[in-house]
């Protein structure tokens, strides 16, 4: 959540920065008007409470003097009633201010390319040679179905569109990948966590999914529980309403979890294959840092995710997303995109974001600075990596003319020494 003091004191700056994310100036003005009303009510309420205290003292004095306090008592009842009405009004307007503020995205970093669409992202670097084939490359779903390792038809029969079964070597390849990712993350200093797969609304609010993006998730009707859209939610909320011991910072978590997404608004996009599913596995990385360390942490996290792709030998590039294309909570996002030969283009496989203190304000996650004063931590998150999309990249980049698929060398120990995926 944006610091409300920043909105008040640097209104033009906030309007200018959020305009690059599609926020109308009127939204800021409405927030400030509601906030001013709240502040005015606080002053009135405090004045009335001071009057009540004064009248109470006068009543006590009259009673001590055995004088009639009837008029003062009547006045006291009216003042108390007015205070209650004022406090009720204050509660309502405070909730309005909170709701309006919670729907504003994070302030983008000055180095983020400005754009109201995804066009305009900046390529930071590129790695690997685009593979060339002496045959027409097939799509990963054609390859997987022909090998008998991906079954989309039965997935749709059992659960609906955008679900599938991994079979045999397909399931083993997926397992090899996430074990490889977790092992590499642990080497990089991340602590592995096995978190809950369902979270409450307070947790979804803390990481920025609620209240604005409720249509993008799966929630239980009869309970305050939502299936996680990413492990970022339970990992960040581990420290919700908490003060992290300063000597522990930076805290680095990693987790393998399923991710559940309704893919609202994606009708007609990536209807085939592993790119856009309602359920998929992802290895997530999350960091909690001091504010002056978060930008270096973003680069380190991005480099680590990129190293995973380098070890897999998959061509990719790293881009910085535009102001409007990055997530609601991010101040800057680097995307890693892998080359998919069948589509003849790069596709996203990881997003690494610095959320600065945006999530920490929502979730009340703090630490004590050198002066013992409470400060908000900065939070970062990144995919390390999206497992299904990595499977897709391997199937397409390592395919052979005979329909088999070579297994990247780094994964072969995780596949029991197997070097090739053949038809089952």
Find out whether 153 is annotated in a ligand binding site.
Answer: no
Find out whether 96 is annotated in a ligand binding site.
Answer: no
- Cα 234 versus chain centre, distance: 10
Find out whether 121 is annotated in a ligand binding site.
Answer: no
Find out whether 348 is annotated in a ligand binding site.
Answer: yes
CB 351 within 8 A of CB 338: no
Find out whether 349 is annotated in a ligand binding site.
Answer: yes
Which residues make Cβ contacts (< 8 Å) with residue 244, sequence separation at least 6?
Answer: 251, 288, 365, 366, 367, 377
Alpha helices in 211-293 (DSSP H): 232-236
**Dist. CA 416–CA 260, nearest whole Å:** 30
**Dist. CA 147–CA 24, nearest whole Å:** 51
| Separation of first and last alpha carbons in the chain | 51
Q: Give the tokens for residue 195.
A: 């978190």
Q: Give the tokens for residue 89.
A: 């009004």
Find out whether 231 is annotated in a ligand binding site.
Answer: yes
Find out whether 383 is annotated in a ligand binding site.
Answer: yes
What are the distances in angstroms from CA 25 to CA 30, 94, 330, 416?
9, 21, 20, 59
**Dist. CA 411–CA 33, nearest whole Å:** 58
Find out whether 232 is annotated in a ligand binding site.
Answer: yes
Find out whether 10 is annotated in a ligand binding site.
Answer: no
Q: What is the residue-wise DSSP string for 111-167?
A: TSPP-SSSTT-EEEEEESPPP--SSPPPPHHHHHHHHTSEEHHHHHHHT-TT--EE-
**Dist. CA 234–CA 244, nearest whole Å:** 16
Of 284, 285, 282, 349, the closest CA to residue 315 belongs to 349
**Dist. CA 141–CA 150, nearest whole Å:** 7
Q: What are phi and psi of 383, to 5 degrees?
A: -80, 130
CB 172 within 8 A of CB 415: yes
Could you give the dihedral angle defined by the CA atoms of residues 202, 232, 296 and 188, in that order, rounded to the nearest 10 degrees? 140
Of 196, 184, 174, 179, the closest CA to residue 301 belongs to 184
Find out whether 262 is annotated in a ligand binding site.
Answer: yes
Which residues make Cβ contacts (< 8 Å) with residue 236, sequence separation at least 6?
Answer: 206, 207, 286, 359, 363, 365, 379, 381
Residues at the annotated binding site?
230-232, 261-263, 284, 348-351, 383
Q: Return binding residues for L-serine.
A: 230-232, 284, 383
Binding residues for ATP: 261-263, 348-351
């Amino acid at each position: 959540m944006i610091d409300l003091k920043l909105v008040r004191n640097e209104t033009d700056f906030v309007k200018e920065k959020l305009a690059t994310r599609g926020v109308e100036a009127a939204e800021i003005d409405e927030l400030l008007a509601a906030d001013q009303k709240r502040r005015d009510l606080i002053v009135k309420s405090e004045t009335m409470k001071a009057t009540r205290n004064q009248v109470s003292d006068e009543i006590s004095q009259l009673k001590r003097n055995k004088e009639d306090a009837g008029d003062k008592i009547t006045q006291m009842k009216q003042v108390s009633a007015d205070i209650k009405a004022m406090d009720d009004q204050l509660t309502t307007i405070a909730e309005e201010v909170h709701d309006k503020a919670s729907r504003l995205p994070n302030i983008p970093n000055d180095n983020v390319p400005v754009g109201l669409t995804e066009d305009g992202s900046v390529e930071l670097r590129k790695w690997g040679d685009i593979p060339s084939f002496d045959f027409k490359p097939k799509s990963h779903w054609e390859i997987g179905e022909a090998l008998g390792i991906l079954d989309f038809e039965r997935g749709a029969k059992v659960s609906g569109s955008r679900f599938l079964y991994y079979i045999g070597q397909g399931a083993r390849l997926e397992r090899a990948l996430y074990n490889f990712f977790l092992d590499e993350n642990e080497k990089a200093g991340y602590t592995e966590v096995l978190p809950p797969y369902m979270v409450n609304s307070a947790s979804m609010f803390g990481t920025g999914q609620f209240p604005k993006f409720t249509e993008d998730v799966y929630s239980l009707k009869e309970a305050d529980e939502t299936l996680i859209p990413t492990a970022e939610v339970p990992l960040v909320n581990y420290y919700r309403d908490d003060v992290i011991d300063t000597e522990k910072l930076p805290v680095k978590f990693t987790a393998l979890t399923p991710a559940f997404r309704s893919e609202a608004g994606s009708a007609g996009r990536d209807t085939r294959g592993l790119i856009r599913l309602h359920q998929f596995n992802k290895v997530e990385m999350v960091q909690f840092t001091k504010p002056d360390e978060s930008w270096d942490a973003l680069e380190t996290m991005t480099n680590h995710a990129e190293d995973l792709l380098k070890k897999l030998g998959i061509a990719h590039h790293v881009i910085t997303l535009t102001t409007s294309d990055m997530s609601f909570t991010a101040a800057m996002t680097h995307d890693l995109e892998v080359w998919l030969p069948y589509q003849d283009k790069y596709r996203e496989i990881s997003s690494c974001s610095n959320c600065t203190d945006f999530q920490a304000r929502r979730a009340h996650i703090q630490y004590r600075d050198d002066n013992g004063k409470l400060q908000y931590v900065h939070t970062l998150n990144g995919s390390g990596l999206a497992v299904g999309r990595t499977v897709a990249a391997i199937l397409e980049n390592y395919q052979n003319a005979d329909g088999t698929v070579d297994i990247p060398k780094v994964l072969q120990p995780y596949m029991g020494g197997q070097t090739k995926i053949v038809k089952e």
